[in-house]
Amino acid sequence: MECKKIQEWLMTDHRDGELNPAEGSELRQHIEGCAVCREFEESVRMTVAAPFRGLAELQPDPVVWQKIRGMIAAEEDRSQGWLRKVERFLQPVLRPLPVFRLAFVVAMVLMVVVLARWPFGRVEPVYAYMEEQAVFLGELQTGNPESSGSDATEYELPSAEMMS
């Protein structure tokens, strides 16, 4: 039972530096007194690392990068193509043609002119009427019908008879 555990450690945790200090000393003590496990340790040392010795880093064929670059370019074209479709769809809204822009500007100018003129055409008679009323009220306060040159005479006060 003890040898099984030790041999498992020899193949895994001991070989990979994962044993804690207490386990390490237990393993060393056992191996010192066990010829079978000593032989097993030697066998692990000789065979387990052997296939991984003398290896070099491999390099992919240069064509692999060409393919990757081509795929990236194709992907970017695809995504840009999608954006272009959206842009074309929204173009009339986002960027109107020059003739529409011109028409829009002319319409705006006309609207401003019309709106600007509209109140002044009506204001003029109002001012004239107010001025006339102001003069009339002034004459009434002074009681001088001559100063007005005036239509005061044109006003006929109602007679007493009529009043009764």
Alpha helix stretches (DSSP H) within the chain: 2-11, 21-32, 35-47, 62-94, 98-142, 145-148, 160-163
Taking alpha carbons only, the member of 44, 49, 36 closest to residue 10 is: 44
CB of 83 to other proteins, least distance (A): 14
CB of 103 to other proteins, least distance (A): 40
Q: What are phi and psi of 87, to 5 degrees?
A: -65, -45
Q: Is 68 near other proteins (CB under 8 A)?
A: yes
Q: Applying CB under 8 A, which of residues 1, 22, 35, 58 lies at the interface with other proteins?
A: 58
Question: Which residue's CB is nearer to other proteins, number 2 or number 75?
Answer: 75
Which residues of this chain interact with other proteins, rule CB under 8 A? 8, 11-13, 15-18, 43-44, 46-61, 64-65, 67-69, 71-72, 75
